[in-house]
Chain A
Amino acid sequence: MFKIVKKRELTPVTKLFVVEAPMVAKKALPGQFVIVRVTESGERIPLTIADYDAGAGTVTIVVQEVGKTSRLLGALPEGDRILDFVGPLGKPAPLIDRGLVVLVGGGFGVAPIYPIAKALKAKGVKVVSIIGARTKDLLILEEEMRGVSDELLVATDDGSKGHKGFVTDVLKQLIDEGRKIDQVIAIGPMVMMRAVARTTEPYKLKTLVSVDPIMVDGTGMCGACRLTVGGEVKFACVDGPIFDAHKVDFDEAVRRGRMYLPEQELAVKRMESSCAGGGCTCGGGH
């Protein structure tokens, strides 16, 4: 069992947890993830490591509540324990040592971008971060990101903060301004990452994305997470989750991600109906 030493509500549906997991904290690197299970009969879900502190023995995760498991997790209070918390899994992000990196984070994807920015900054690499969300209330970790970026740009779909439009608009502007960008790393919803890939491809701008396919074990033993990269089948949990954006077959990845939609909806429905009675703290009712 893994104790939640701190919890912060970033938005009504996005929660940050600092979790006591000394073994994971000691080995964690930017770009890696953990697999979490909340109940004995629960699913195993992957979550990116959003920060880590080997000294304190803690790992930070940020969870966006989308379905049953993420809601159950989101509802856990500070001081409670997470049943299973295994990692760090996947390959760390390959970070360059000098130059300019543009980081693009959309939605909860800002959380996994944070440790990457921090590590790049520590190496002395120049970091320009673009973070976005649908609206300003859903924007997360803005202050934290400002602290680890040389420049922070914000985009919201509705224009409630920063640029009105998509993160890709801002990215395109930077490119068109003629900035010498050495690498782009984008993390967020699959559609956003696909848009970033399409934006940078004509410029042959080296771009990495962190894909989030459905996973079970996270150690290479099931193949649920397979996707096609550059015509080859890869397992995201061990070969990734970070891949060359221009080689990822996004259409296939999006399609595979929808495999259990009816089951996911059923799970949420059941959860909401059983929570309606009140007294339940699982968070399903909101």
Chain B
Amino acid sequence: MSQDTTKKKPVKRPRAEMPAQDPKERIRNFNEVALGYDEETAVAEAERCLQCKNAACVEGCPVDVRIPEFVAKIRDRDFQAAYDLIKDTNSLPAICGRVCPQETQCEAKCVLGKKGEPVAIGRLERAAADWAMARSDRVKPELPEPNGKKVAVVGSGPAGLTCAGDLAKMGYKVTVFEALHAPGGVLIYGIPEFRLPKRIVAEEIKALSDLGVDVVCDVVVGKTITVDDLFAEGYDAVFLGTGAGLPMFMGIPGETLNGVYSANEFLTRTNLMKAYLFPEWDTPIKVGRRVAVVGGGNVAMDSVRCALRLGAEEAIIVYRRSEAEMPARAEEVHHAKEEGVIFRTLTNPVRVLGNEEGWVTGLECVRMELGEPDESGRRRPIPIEGSEFVLEVDTVVIAIGTTPNPLVSQTTPGLEVNRKGCLITRDESGLTTRDLVWAGGDAVTGAATVIEAMGAGKRAAAAIDKVLQGKG
């Protein structure tokens, strides 16, 4: 690292805008919305960074990306070095740069954010990663000496992929088992193409194969094979990165009417099965003219924006708290508004209405007001009596949350879960109540974030290595 470069003076200028597809255009396609900084814009944005000595931004990042250092490299137009620096602690920068909730993580802590706008750390991270990906002369990594030990990773979401990659780099023979026919977890079946192009996920899986990791799809652990079988087959340790894929419904009347979807089904049909290409692709989806999506998180935003792109004339978010409480990334809410999504906040569904043939005709809702804060610290929504009204819709998508799938815990003696169905861990590394079985990501925390899942995969890989090498 050359010393003098860090002494360059930061430049005061507004945060560089992210170019995006025109909202009128983009609601008719599934192409990526945010187009990314070009090199000049990235350099200009990087020049804003103060290069703080005790960089607060790093504290906000769950995997301690060396933010000031990589930003300095971009400022100096050394994109390769920037990429390498990020890669040191974050194995999926092209993904995190796009989907991390930066405004509550790294960028929330950036000192520039106190008075003005924080450095666009996520966008810079994406710029470095895209720069590297565009240079397809990717060198195959040097494979480490095999250490003779085998680890099974269950689930190919960000937690599993990260754990597998780290272990492979240490010389372990890693096999990833995935229930669906394609690897990637939520990155492939949940988050839509227009937010995270699938070629990026495919690149990351390819990189894993280059490291010698076997990814075996169509295997449901707990059904096709059990954790005990894996040990019997000679695996020395198991990592469970099975996510939180079980959809919650509201338990209101009418939820089994034709036209009511869980967000998981709506998004899986759309993204994994490419229903937006029906009939070229075989899986259909029903959208209708008016769609209501219940919920206020990323999942709800993705569903409502998919609905628009699938041809809905009107797509409505129905959320029981106010916009300030919405857990979705700020950028997604902003994009959804630009695209014409209607926000019905402080509104809660009480009943789905249908016709004689059993098709949805409407969603009866009640208006809400905010009361005292509840255990989550957010103000509790309370129904306003007598304020019921009907939204006329053809389709209802329920996006109120997910819980972990019990297939593995039910079939693995000694593996304990808490009352929410999340796997119980004994320490920071994610060691479960079963020896030699680790877990991480949404399966442990409940629905959270990509970067947290990766962090968990990383910590588990380090712990697995320690234990299997007799160092712990």
Cα A263 to Cα B247 in complex, Å, equals 25
Which of the residues B259, B264, B274 comes within 8 Å of A41, measured between beta carbons?
Answer: B274
Q: Which residue of A lies closest to B398 (CB)?
A: A223
Enumerate chain A residues within 8 angstroms of B223, measured Cβ to Cβ: 27, 87-89, 219
**Taking the nearest CB of chain B, how far is it from the CB of A32, in angstroms?**
9
Q: Once the chains bind, are A220 and B279 in contact (CB under 8 Å)?
A: no
- How many inter-chain residue pairs (CB < 8 Å) link A and B? 111
Enumerate chain A residues within 8 angstroms of B217, measured Cβ to Cβ: 84
Which of the residues A224, A255, A270 comes within 8 Å of B357, measured between beta carbons?
Answer: A255
Q: Once the chains bind, are B273 and A43 in contact (CB under 8 Å)?
A: yes
Which of the residues A83, A216, A217, A260 comes within 8 Å of B286, measured between beta carbons?
Answer: A260
Which of the residues A220, A252, A266 comes within 8 Å of B256, measured between beta carbons?
Answer: A252
Which of the residues A87, A224, A228, A267 comes within 8 Å of B282, measured between beta carbons?
Answer: A267
Chain A, interface residues (CB within 8 Å), range: 35 or more
Given A42-B282, A44-B181, A252 and B268 touching (CB < 8 A)? no
**Any B CB within 8 A of the CB of A130:** no
Enumerate chain B residues within 8 angstroms of A86, measured Cβ to Cβ: 179, 181, 218-220, 224
Cα A255 to Cα B268 in complex, Å, equals 22
Q: Once the chains bind, are B268 and A217 in contact (CB under 8 Å)?
A: yes
Enumerate chain A residues within 8 angstroms of B246, measured Cβ to Cβ: 220-221
Within 8 A of A (CB), among B373-408: 405-407
**Taking the nearest CB of chain A, how far is it from the CB of B359, in angstroms?**
9
Cα A41 to Cα B275 in complex, Å, equals 10
Within 8 A of A (CB), among B124-181: 179-181
**Any A CB within 8 A of the CB of B45:** no
**Taking the nearest CB of chain B, how far is it from the CB of A188, in angstroms?**
23
Enumerate chain B residues within 8 angstroms of A39, measured Cβ to Cβ: 282
Enumerate chain B residues within 8 angstroms of A18, measured Cβ to Cβ: none
**Any B CB within 8 A of the CB of A66:** no
Q: Once the chains bind, are B281 and A259 in contact (CB under 8 Å)?
A: no
Cα A226 to Cα B251 in complex, Å, equals 13
Q: Once the chains bind, are B277 and A224 in contact (CB under 8 Å)?
A: no
Encode B236-271 as 1/0 by CB contact (under 8 A) with A.
000000000111010000011011011011001100
**Any A CB within 8 A of the CB of B283:** yes
**Any A CB within 8 A of the CB of B113:** no
Encode B404-417 as 1/0 by CB contact (under 8 A) with A.
01110000000000
Enumerate chain A residues within 8 angstroms of B220, measured Cβ to Cβ: 86-87, 89, 219
**Any B CB within 8 A of the CB of A114:** no
Q: Which residue of A lies closest to B265 (CB)?
A: A222
Q: Once the chains bind, are A222 and B262 in contact (CB under 8 Å)?
A: yes
Q: Once the chains bind, are A238 and B181 in contact (CB under 8 Å)?
A: no
Q: Once the chains bind, are A223 and B282 in contact (CB under 8 Å)?
A: no
**Any B CB within 8 A of the CB of A37:** yes
Within 8 A of A (CB), among B261-305: 261-262, 264-265, 268-269, 273-274, 277-284, 286
Encode A41-72 as 1/0 by CB contact (under 8 A) with B.
11110000000000000000000000011000
Given A43-B283, A233-B255, A238-B407, A216 and B265 touching (CB < 8 A)? yes
Enumerate chain A residues within 8 angstroms of B281, measured Cβ to Cβ: 41-42
Chain A interface, >50% SS class: mixed
Q: Once the chains bind, are B269 and A216 in contact (CB under 8 Å)?
A: yes
Q: Once the chains bind, are A219 and B407 in contact (CB under 8 Å)?
A: yes
Q: Once the chains bind, are B279 and A266 in contact (CB under 8 Å)?
A: yes
Given A86-B179, A221-B264, A270-B279, A233 and B284 touching (CB < 8 A)? no
Cα A208 to Cα B62 in complex, Å, equals 51
Q: Which residue of A lies closest to B283 (CB)?
A: A43
Enumerate chain B residues within 8 angstroms of A69, measured Cβ to Cβ: 282
**Any A CB within 8 A of the CB of B371:** no
Q: Once the chains bind, are B268 and A222 in contact (CB under 8 Å)?
A: yes
Given A23-B219, A222-B265, A233 and B249 touching (CB < 8 A)? yes
**Any B CB within 8 A of the CB of A108:** no
**Taking the nearest CB of chain A, how far is it from the CB of B162, in angstroms?**
21
Q: Which residue of B lies closest to A89 (CB)?
A: B223
**Taking the nearest CB of chain B, how far is it from the CB of A14, in angstroms?**
21
Enumerate chain A residues within 8 angstroms of B357, measured Cβ to Cβ: 255
Given A216-B269, A259-B286, A263-B279, A222 and B264 touching (CB < 8 A)? yes
Given A219-B407, A266-B279, A224 and B265 touching (CB < 8 A)? yes
Cα A110 to Cα B234 in complex, Å, equals 40
Enumerate chain A residues within 8 angstroms of B330, measured Cβ to Cβ: none
Cα A42 to Cα B407 in complex, Å, equals 26
Which of the residues A85, A216, A224, A238 comes within 8 Å of B218, measured between beta carbons?
Answer: A85
**Any B CB within 8 A of the CB of A24:** yes
Enumerate chain A residues within 8 angstroms of B277, measured Cβ to Cβ: 41
Enumerate chain A residues within 8 angstroms of B261, measured Cβ to Cβ: 223-224
Cα A222 to Cα B268 in complex, Å, equals 8
Cα A42 to Cα B282 in complex, Å, equals 5
Enumerate chain A residues within 8 angstroms of B406, measured Cβ to Cβ: 220
**Any B CB within 8 A of the CB of A256:** yes
**Any A CB within 8 A of the CB of B23:** no
The interface of chain A, by Cβ under 8 A from chain B, is: 23-24, 27, 37, 39, 41-44, 68-69, 83-89, 216-217, 219-224, 226-228, 233, 238, 252, 255-256, 258-260, 263-264, 266-267, 270
The interface of chain B, by Cβ under 8 A from chain A, is: 179-181, 217-220, 223-225, 245-247, 249, 255-256, 258-259, 261-262, 264-265, 268-269, 273-274, 277-284, 286, 357-358, 405-407
5 nearest CB pairs, A to B: A263-B284, A222-B265, A86-B218, A221-B245, A223-B262
18 more A-B contacts (CB under 8 A) besides A217-B268, A252-B358?
A: A23-B225, A37-B181, A43-B282, A86-B224, A87-B220, A89-B223, A220-B245, A220-B407, A221-B264, A223-B264, A227-B256, A228-B256, A255-B258, A255-B358, A258-B258, A260-B284, A263-B284, A270-B279
10 contacts between A and B (CB under 8 A): A27-B225, A87-B224, A216-B269, A219-B179, A219-B245, A221-B246, A221-B264, A222-B247, A222-B264, A224-B265
